[in-house]
Chains A and B, each alone.
Chain A
Amino acid sequence: NAGVTQTPKFRILKIGQSMTLQCTQDMNHNYMYWYRQDPGMGLKLIYYSVGAGITDKGEVPNGYNVSRSTTEDFPLRLELAAPSQTSVYFCASSYLTGGNTIYFGEGSWLTVV
């Protein structure tokens, strides 16, 4: 059982470039999330989705976009990358809205230079 799979693991972007972080889960979870984690700052919610076709902003959505066309996939799009988007990105999914059912991917390390 793969759980939550994120790609790529590492990426270096130049300022102004765009890219998509891929996330897929095989647990048939309705809820999916994108977090970013900066050193000493904890995890901040970027976007979340409560089901296919439904997405909403989290705490720090500026500079990002998401889509949820299927239950399994929740890609995160970075438009016009900026150095402030250098971070570790975690995708997560859950069956219910409780934190005890949330499963995280292994993270994507993004550097914008």
Chain B
Amino acid sequence: GAVVSQHPSRVICKSGTSVKIECRSLDFQATTMFWYRQFPKQSLMLMATSNEGSKATYEQGVEKDKFLINHASLTLSTLTVTSAHPEDSSFYICSATIGGVNEQYFGPGTRLTVT
């Protein structure tokens, strides 16, 4: 149980375009979803926290207009990287929590390459 999926697993886009990454909780309703960014051989950096039906809370230094997060339902959150640039190339990971369970369940990640 507690499976989180991400789509796509890999995406290549051209500089200046936007790309959307989906995060789904497959067998549970997620009270909260988190988005992380990870550079090679580094730790996970929390970008934002999202709750269904409300605006995402962004961490300091994360551009909310650049990284749009929509949490439309209890099983789906999306991260849209707008006007992507090569420096946005990274590994993006989402996670989700279930109410009353103090644990995060992680998706498999999405590798974004901006050319």
| Chains A and B belong together in one complex | no
A interface vs B, CB < 8 Å?
none
